[in-house]
Each structure stands twice: as structure tokens, then as C-alpha cells.
A and B are shown apart, each in its own frame.
Chain A
Amino acid sequence: MPTLRILFTRLRVEEKLLREAAEKQNIPCELMNVSDVWYGEKPFCGTDDVVLARCVSHNQNEAVAQILESQGIRVVNPSSVMAVCGNKLTTSIALAKAGIGQPKFRTAFSPEAAVEALEELGYPAVCKPVSGSWGRLLAKINDREAAEAVFEHKSMLGAIHNTFYIQEYIEKGDYDVRAFVVSGDPICAITRKSAHWITNTARGGAASNLPLDDEIRSVLRSVHSAIGGEFLAVDLFRKEGEWLVNEVNDGGEFRNSIEPTGTDIPAAVVRAAWERRPSL
């Protein structure tokens, strides 16, 4: 019997909500910790199953998706989408190719070049790890002295941090937006308010509903066209009457967005994944 297999490495509220949503829809469902088994030639599961990959580790999520896809198993989101969303530079390039509005960004491969890039971009600016989440290791850089210190420190943190990704700082007021796109359709959005310049709800940003209008729907559909995937969580800023796409997440967390939006996000995600099973 085809089964929806929800992969995890750390069982968050989201994965439990997804399982509950599957049970409510009478979808055969199994939660599976990818750390419990090893992977070789033996198929992980039947090719009539569909896998919803929700590992909290981006690298492990993408790796297991690649392995399963090589076995002919359908994975939501596909590893190709994870590869784009899991790297902020790759995301920015995909958005730029599609002509989607985003904060200006610069890339450098040495601390010295990063400082010069920032001088050209202007202060303040934001330095982000190309791979990372939950607001970790973000640095708002206000002047050259701070830039020199931050980039020197980053150069000591390991190979991934020696790709310096620098983004224009957006004066976004006290909020940004997190919007959810399922099977290409925008389903709901929240504003995240915080006195801190980082408005991530994982860091305490307060969520409230943002009704979707035609303008933001159009932007979100463009993002989906550029990146693909069954489930995207898109972060946006509003600047001078224009939406700018800040980040696109392939394994979005949604626990704080269900109540304010009144949207059953896990039900929509489970339905979308189940409709991707090969037997249909």
C-alpha cells in the first residue's frame, strides 16, 4: 500500500503536525528517523511511496533525498530544490535569473575583498553564512572597522564561511513577511514584528496574519516558477512599495503561522505531498 513517509532527524512540532494531518486525511503515514538506518543499494521504501523530507539538518536532508531519488523514490521537496534553498548565494542567483526583486547582494572570497564589496554596497549591510538558518551568525555591519573584524573572524570559522555573502540592509520598519507556497499556490502569510533587526519567529518575532493580495501572490508564484518545489516558505521585505524576496526555505517551520492565519498549513503540505505519489 502506498505510504507517506515523513523523514526527520529531530522530531519538531511540525513533523508531528504533519503526521496528525495525514491521519486526519486517512493517508497511510509513517514517521522515520533517517539516523536509524544506513543506505546502500537496498531500496529505502517502495517506489509507490512518497517521501516528505523534513530533516532539520540541511546537508542530511539533501543527501537522503538524493539517495532516495536515485532509487526511483519520489521526494518532496526534490533535492534540486533543497540545493537552491540551502545556499543563500544559489538562491540569490536563481532569483536574479528570474528577475525577482531582492536585496542587492555581493559575494567575495577573501576578507579584504569582502570589505571592499561592502564599501561599494554601503553601510549598514548584512553578512550571512551561505548555509544557515534560524538567524544564526547574521551580522549587521555598520562601518569599516566592524567589517574588518567580522570578516577576519569569519575567515577562521571554516571553509563554508570563506564564501562571504553580503546583503544590502533593508530598512523594513519593524516587520518582515513569511509566506507559504504549496504546489505553486500561495496559501497564507504572516508578518513578523520585532524591535530587533532580526525578525525570525525562532528568535521571538511576533506573528500576525497578512492577507494575500494579487501583488504578493504574483511575486510568490514567480518564486515558485524560479525554484520549484511542493512547499516553500518565502521571506520578504517591503521597501518603497516593492516586495523584495529575502530568503526561500525548503523545509519551512510553520507552527507559529497556523493560528494567526487560520490556515491548516500541515494539511495542505501533506495533501500536496500525497498528490505527488507516483501511482496517481
Chain B
Amino acid sequence: MTATCTVCEAQVSLPNDCCEGELLVCGDCGTELEVIALDPITVEEAPQVQEDWGE
């Protein structure tokens, strides 16, 4: 399975056990992508780190 990077349109491979919410990194442009849906496969740029994110 592959998705198309929303920034550079490169093909990005998805792992076999991919699920919604999974994060991918585009190998071409380095953009972090979030899997929004699996059927059909939809990705968008992952949200930027927020001030209260972490452990």
C-alpha cells in the first residue's frame, strides 16, 4: 500500500498493519504525514507539536 505525499506527491509506503492515526514520513521531502483514512487511503500533514504535548 502506498499513499501520495500531500506536499511533494512522492509515493510513501504504508506498513502492513497500518491503522488510522499512524504517522509516516515522506522519504522525499521529509514531511510528517498522518493517515486519516484507510479506505480509501488518505493522508494529510500531521499537526505540529503543541505546547502541552509530551509525556
Please give, as numbers and ranges, the residues of chain A lying within 8 Å of B49 by CB-CB distance: 134, 136
Q: Cβ of B19 and Cβ of A131 under 8 Å apart?
A: no
A86, B54: Cα distance in complex, Å: 10
- A residues in contact (CB < 8 Å) with B: 8, 10-12, 16, 31, 33, 56-60, 86, 129, 131-134, 136, 160, 233, 249-253
Residue of A nearest to B53 (CB): A56
Nearest opposing residue in chain B for A250, CB measure? B55
Interface centre among A11, A131, A249, A252 (most CB of B within 10 A): A11
Q: State whether B54 touches A133 (Cβ < 8 A).
A: yes
* Bound form: Cα–Cα A182–B10 in Å: 43
> Does any Cβ of A come within 8 Å of B47's Cβ?
yes
* A132 lies within 8 A of B55 (CB): no
B16 at the interface (CB under 8 A from A): no
**What CA separation (Å) do A32 and B17 show in the bound complex?**
16
Q: How many residues of B contact A (CB 8 A)?
A: 16
- B23 engages A253 (CB within 8 Å): no
The answer to the question of B22 belonging to the interface, with a C-beta cut-off of 8 Å to chain A, is: yes
Q: Which of B17, B22, B23, B53 contacts A58 (CB 8 A)?
A: B53
A133 CA / B51 CA spacing, docked (Å): 8
For this complex, 15 residue pairs linking A to B, each with C-beta atoms less than 8 Å apart, are: A8-B21, A10-B53, A16-B22, A31-B19, A31-B21, A56-B53, A58-B52, A131-B52, A132-B54, A133-B52, A133-B54, A134-B49, A134-B55, A136-B51, A253-B55
Give Cα A150 to B52, complex, Å.
20
Do residues A134 and B53 form an inter-chain contact, with CB atoms below 8 A? Answer: yes
Smallest beta-carbon distance A55→chain B, Å: 9
A33 lies within 8 A of B20 (CB): yes
Query: Which of chain B's residues 37-55 have a Cβ closer than 8 Å to chain A?
Result: 46-47, 49-55
Query: How far does the Cβ of B20 sit from chain A's closest Cβ, in whole Å?
Result: 7
CB-based nearest B residue for A15: B21
Given A10-B46, A10-B47, are A136 and B54 neighbors across the interface (CB < 8 Å)? yes
Complex Cα–Cα for A253 and B54 (A): 9
Assess the B55–A33 pair: CB atoms within 8 A.
Answer: no
1/0 per residue B1-32: CB within 8 Å of A?
Answer: 00000000000000001011111000000000
Per the bound structure, the CA–CA distance linking A12 and B19 in Å amounts to 11
